Structure formats: structure tokens, C-alpha cells
Amino acid sequence: MTATSTPLAPAANAPAWQAPLAELGPAFYSRIEPQALKQPHWIARNTALARELGLDEQWLASQEALHGFAGCTVLPGSQPVASVYSGHQFGVWAGQLGDGRALIIGQLQTPQGPVEVQLKGAGRTPYSRMGDGRAVLRSSIREYLCSEAMHGLGIATTRALCLTGSPSAVLREEVETAAVVTRTAESFLRFGHFEHFSHGGRHDLLGQLADHVIERHYPDCQQAPNPYAALLEAVSRRTASLLAQWQAVGFCHGVMNTDNMSILGLTLDYGPFQFLDAFDPDHICNHSDSGGRYAFKRQPGVAHWNLLCLGQALMPLIKSEDAALQALQAYKGQFEADLTQALRGKLGLIDAQRSEDLALVDDLLQILARERVDHTIFWRRLCDFAQHSEPVHELFIDRSTFAAWAERYGSRCAGLDPQLQRGAMRQRNPRYVLRNHLGEQAIGAAKQGDFAPLHQLLRVLETPFEDHPQDAALAGFPPHWASSIEISCSS
């Protein structure tokens, strides 16, 4: 069943949709209508994001919005499109992929500039291949929660505007129910869009795409002697900054294929991601990733590999191999500088960097890895180390090794204002992250029709640096069963 597309008169407070990707033209997308889900219902609406986007909150709560965002009707003025891209999956060229279950329903003019709005799970598209175009409730809740958790942590991400559910059945390993996440981003363009037109020999379209991205998102590159090399460098830097943030907070993406890499350096496509419980650099969060290509410690290297693919795709425009290699070189320096800054911040080293800081950080990470210390709890407790050191010491079995490190740390902190330091650390070490078991609990309740745990979790994830004493249970150690949760690409 296709959505009703009878042109309705828009409600007075309805958003004014602009055609998405209109400047690029039809080679980049297919016009397509969503396929209706039955009896849609609201699960979540993000009023804070709605406000940022200039959307009317009453309209967002309306039946018109519910049906539009569940893909049951085409919202008045909206011209949905699915875009085409390709990509490398698990290191292998996969050819054409594309938005197999995503539809960009339009673009909104916001005070911050144009923002694209996309439905995920609204039915098949010309790029669905063998897929059904649907997304299940479980994975949609994970995407909604994690987008907002990342935003709360200050990490660049696509956002989640709302979540709708439906009793429509979807077959995965078992029969599940369908949901649609409405997500937003300044752009959903991926490395894979560039690979698609480059590998397909459509260098005219590749140039058009690169010019579009430069003009709209990286205008400073226009002044560079080689604007396309400058674009590659700018994307490399943003990607490096993103990866530094992921590594510092303990976020494992799980499927860093080039089609899941945002050209804007946003966290994109939430699948089998995980925030680390115990600090284990070798941790693999994607149950389908048997070789560990996307293990936590490999993420920075994989991002660089993905940038090489982007660089390769841009070669017909950059033309000079030297210029491309030089652009890519920016990645390593930017990543190391950002990661060091992030980790120094987590340690509360609020003064200028000193030569011993790198060793202090490295040695700590080695101790944490050896002892498999809970990542989030360690860092949060460290905020109060000057006043309450025992709760930190008790996280370690080999207490003397940690004590020796702590003595060095204490000397390094001499002269720093403990209150200022504590305040700064509490802004960098979240009390709450979206641990897998918390997501699972919210999903389990939602499957029974109880969305209260989801909303409770969402509230703390939106402001993860605050204490939220009434929700302290969500800041505890993971239960034993957490380590046996298996999250795969099935979504």
C-alpha cells in the first residue's frame, strides 16, 4: 500500500517543505512515496529539536504529523526522495547501495540554515535490493536514544525528531513490529555518494556533488588553490575530531563502512553500536563482525582507511596525488591533538599541556585496559578523586599499580584549583551513557507497550553530565547479563 498523496491543504502551522537535494538534480535520487504502516502511534517527539528547527510544537503533536512521519501520508508540500550511493563494506567494494529504507521527505529552512528531514523505515525504494525497507522497533529505539545521547555528550551526530510505532509485522530472526525514526541533519551525504559517481565514471556528476558540498558546507575551500583537495582535508579534520570524541567517551560504532561515513563528520547510521562497559580496546560490538575489523581500538585507523577511499573517489577532481596525500595527512595530527585534548580534559588538566601529559594518559589507559575497569564509572568517580579517592581505588584489583599512577597524577595536579578542576571534569566525564543493557531494558518495556523507561532514559541522556540523583540506578555497573547481549546488523 502506498501512502495517500492527495494534495491536502497544509495546516496553517505546518512546516514549509523545500525539495531535498533539489540543486543536485535527478541523477542523485529517485522520487518515491512512502509505504504506509498500519495504525501508527507516537512513541517519542523531540520538542527541544523541534524548537531548534522552528517547528510548531502543536503541529508536531498533530495527527497530520503522526501520519506524515509514520509514512502513511505524504505531508503537504513534501517531495520525498531516496538518494543513491555506493560504498565499501567491511573493506570490500560493494557497488551500488543507496537509501534502501530511508526517504528524505524535505528540507526545512531553520535559523541555523537548511536542515534535511529523513524517515527511516518507511518502505522500499529502488535501492532496497533484497530488503523490505522497514526498520524494527528495537533498532529504531536504539537510533533515537543514541542520536540524542550523542547530542547530549556534545558529539556531532544526526538528530532524532520523532519516533512512531506500528503493529505492522516485520520479519527478522523472528517476527517484530515496525517503527519509523524521523531524523535530521544538515546533510545526509556520505563518502559513498562520492564513490558512487567516481567509480561509475560520472565525473561530471562527481564535480557537481563536490561543488555542492563545498558551496553549502565547506565554503572556505572555495578560496584554496585546489578546492577539492581542501575539501578532502576539511573532511579529514572533521572525521578526525569525531573519532577523537568517540574514543574518549568509549563509543564503538560497529559498522564503519564508507556508506555510513558522513561527509560532515557526523555520527551516522546507528546500528550495532555500543558504549563500552569495561574498558577493552579490543572490544567488538557488532556480533556480525567476526574478524573484528571495527573493534574499538581499530576505529581511528578504519576512519583513515575510509578517508583514503574518499580521496580515491575525489582523484578525478583533485588530479594531483601529492595534493591528495597531503590533504589526508591532516587526519593523524588532528586526531592525536583532539584525543590528547579530550583526555587531558577528562583528567582535569586545565592548564597548558606539559610534556609528561602524554605518558600520564597512555599509562592510565593501559592500566584501565589491563584491569577492564568500567570506563564511564572510572572517569566519573575520578572527578571527585581529590576529595574521595577510595571509590576510585576500589575499582582496581592491582591497587598498588594504580596508586603509583595516582601519585604521579596528584603531583601533576599540584597547583591547580581543585574546585575548578572538578567542575571542568564533571563537564567532560558523563555520569550517563547509553549502555547496551539500558537500551535493552527500555526496548523490552516498549515491546510491552510501556514507554516510561524509554523516556526516563532519554531524560538523563539528554543531560548526561548532570547527577540526576533520582535516576542513579541508570548510572550503576552493568548487570552480568549485559556482556551476553548480542547486537548484529539485523535491524
Q: Which residues are catalytic?
A: 259
CB 31 within 8 A of CB 81: yes
Name which of Mg ion, ligand AMP, none residue 165 binds, using a CB cut-off of 5 to 8 Å depending on partner kind.
Answer: none
Tell me: does residue 260 bind Mg ion (CB under 5 A).
Answer: yes
Tell me: does residue 168 bind ligand AMP (CB under 6 A).
Answer: no
Name which of Mg ion, ligand AMP, none residue 196 binds, using a CB cut-off of 5 to 8 Å depending on partner kind.
Answer: none
Q: How far is the CB of 127 from ligand AMP (least distance, A)?
A: 6
**Helix ranges, 203-258 (H):** 203-217, 227-249
User: 443: helix, coil or strand?
Assistant: helix
C-alpha cell at 391: 571509590
Tell me: does residue 99 bind Mg ion (CB under 5 A).
Answer: no
Q: Which listed residue (143, 269, 280, 289) binds Mg ion by CB under 5 A?
A: 269
For the chain, what's the residue count?
491
Tell me: does residue 89 bind Mg ion (CB under 5 A).
Answer: no
Tell me: does residue 134 bind ligand AMP (CB under 6 A).
Answer: yes
Q: What is the longest distance spanned by two Cα atoms in the chain?
A: 72
Name which of ligand AMP, Mg ion, none residue 98 binds, using a CB cut-off of 5 to 8 Å depending on partner kind.
Answer: ligand AMP
**Virtual torsion, Cα 458, 459, 464, 468, nearest 10 deg:** -140
Quickly tell me which residue has 584554496 as its cell. Answer: 224
Tell me: does residue 490 bind ligand AMP (CB under 6 A).
Answer: no
The span from the CA of 110 to the CA of 51, in Å, is 10
CB 162 within 8 A of CB 69: yes
Closer of 269 and 277 to Mg ion (Cβ): 269
Closer of 128 and 340 to ligand AMP (Cβ): 128
- 363-382 burial, b at 16+ Cβ within 10 Å, e below that, comes to ebeebbbebebbbbbbbbbb
Give residues 85-104 in contact with ligand AMP (rule: CB under 6 A): 97-101
Closer of 83 and 421 to Mg ion (Cβ): 83
Name which of Mg ion, ligand AMP, none residue 131 binds, using a CB cut-off of 5 to 8 Å depending on partner kind.
Answer: ligand AMP
With CA atoms as reference, report the closest residue to 147 among 267, 317, 13, 19: 267
User: 208: helix, coil or strand?
Assistant: helix
Q: How far is the CB of 287 from ligand AMP (least distance, A)?
A: 13
Q: Which listed residue (15, 68, 76, 271) binds ligand AMP by CB under 6 A?
A: 271
Closer of 190 and 428 to Mg ion (Cβ): 190
Would residue 16 be called left, alpha or beta, if left means φ above 0 and alpha means ψ between -120 and 50 degrees?
beta
Q: Residues in the site for ligand AMP, rule: CB under 6 A?
A: 97-101, 127-128, 131-134, 255, 260, 269, 271, 489
Residues in contact with Mg ion by the rule CB under 5 A: 260, 269
